[in-house]
Amino acid sequence: MEHVCVICGHVHDEELEGKWEDLPEDFPCPECGGFKADYEVI
Amino acid sequence: MINWKIEPLHFREWGTDHEYLHGVKSVKVNDDNEQWCYNDGSWTVQNSEIWVEKGKPTLLITLGESWTYGEGTEVINHRFHRWDIRDRIEVTYSGKLARMIDSDLWTFGCPGNSNSGIFAGLFRILANVPRGQYSSVKVAVQMTACDRDRTELLPAGHALLPIYSEAFKHHGVPKIPLREWFTRYDEAMFSMLDAEIKKNSDLNLDVVVFKNFNKIWTDRRDYNFKIIEPSWIKFNAQYHNIDLEECFVQHPNFYSSKLRKLSMIDHLDLDFVNRDLDVWEVYCKFLKTHNDTNHSEHPTQISHALWTKFLYDQTGWRSVTHT
C-alpha cells in the first residue's frame, strides 16, 4: 500500500521519509508542501 | 483574436493555500472553439479553455481532450454539466503542474477532441500569446486516438489529408503496409508541430507531447519537442502491476470504415488487425475492471496527480523555487 499526494503526485517513500503511521498530521509533502491529509492510498 | 469572458472565482471555504488558484480573483474563459475540434461535434462543454494570469514569467499551455478536461474525476462530468472552473484547474494535471513550476496556465481541453483539433487549438493559442508577456512558454500536448479526426472538415493543405486520401494515384510510388500508415500519421502530425514551433520561436517554447491511449508510432526523435513515453494509460496500468499493451485504434470500426479504403495502404493486413483487436479487448477489460482509485474510464484525480509528477520529472521544468 502506497500513499500519493493528490496535489502533486509525490509517492511517499517510507525508507527516506519515515513510516507513514509515525508521521505527524502536519508532515509536509517534500515536493509541494501539502499536508498528510492531502495524501490518498493507491 | 479571442473573445474572452472574465469569470470571477468565488471564495471556497474549504480551499487551502496549497491550491494553484489561491488568491486568484478571476480567470479568462473561452468556449468559442469547438468548431475547430474536427470531431463529430456532439460534445458541448463549458470552461474548455481557461487562461489563469498570475503575473508569472512562465506560461504553461496544456491541451488535449477529455483526459485533459478532467472528465471522469470525482467532480467533472460534462454529461451532468459538472465543469466548475476551480475543479477544471485544481484536479487536473494542468493546474497541478502549473503550481509545481510556478507558472501562469492556459489550458484547452475538450471531450471528444481529435488530434487535428488539439493541434489547431495549440496553433491558435500560440498565435494569441501576447508577445513580451512571458520569458518562456512551456507546452504539454496530450494526443488522443487517431480515429477521431474528421478529415472531411480539415482545411485544404492540412498535413493529414495526403495520408487519408482515397484517390491517390501511385505512379511508381510503392504502397505501404498497414502498420507503416500509423508511423506516417505520427510523422505528419509531428512535422506540422515542428514547423509551428519554429514559426513561434520568439516565444521561447519548450514543448512536450504525449498520448493517452496509444504508443508513439514513429521512431524519429529529431524534432524540436520532446516525446514523453509511455502513454498515460500504460503508465496507469503500471500501478496495478499490469504491463498493458497499447492498441493502435480506439474504435475498431476505423479499420473497416476508413483504413481499408485508403489508397496508400497496400492491403488491410488481417493478421495485424486481429492482433490489434486482441490487444483492444485487453485494453477494454483494463478500463472496465480497474475503475478504482487510480483509473476508471478516465483518470481520477489521483491519476492526474501521478501523471503530474511524471511530467514534472520527465520535462525537467522547474520554477525558481524548485531549483
Scan residues 22-41 of A and list those with Cβ closer than 8 Å to B: 31-35, 38, 40-41
A10 and chain B: CB distance < 8 Å anywhere? yes
What percentage of chain B reaches a pLDDT higher than 90? 72
Question: B3: distance to nearest CA of chain A, Å?
Answer: 31
Tell which residue, B134, B140, B130, B132, has the closest CA to residue B56.
B134
Listed by start position, the domains of chain B span: 5-315
Q: Which residue type is seen at B68?
A: T
Grid coordinates belonging to B90? 485544481
DSSP classification of residue B238: H
What is the third-level CATH fold of A3-41?
Rubrerythrin, domain 2 (2.20.28)
Contact: A9, B309; criterion CB under 8 Å: yes
Q: Report yes or no on whether pTM surpasses 0.95.
A: no
Which residues of chain B neighbour A11 with C-beta distances below 8 Å?
306, 309
> What is the rounded CA–CA span in Å between residue B117 and residue B108?
11
- Tell me what ipTM this predicted complex has: 0.86
> What is the rounded CA–CA span in Å between residue B67 and residue B212?
8
Q: In terms of C-beta density within 10 A (0-12 exposed, 13-18 middle, 19 or more buried), how is residue B309 classed?
A: buried
The per-residue pLDDT for B74 is: 84
Listed by start position, the domains of chain A span: 3-41
* B25-82 pLDDT tens trace: 999 999 988 777 776 666 678 999 999 999 999 999 999 999 999 998 889 988 788 9
Grid coordinates belonging to B318? 522547474
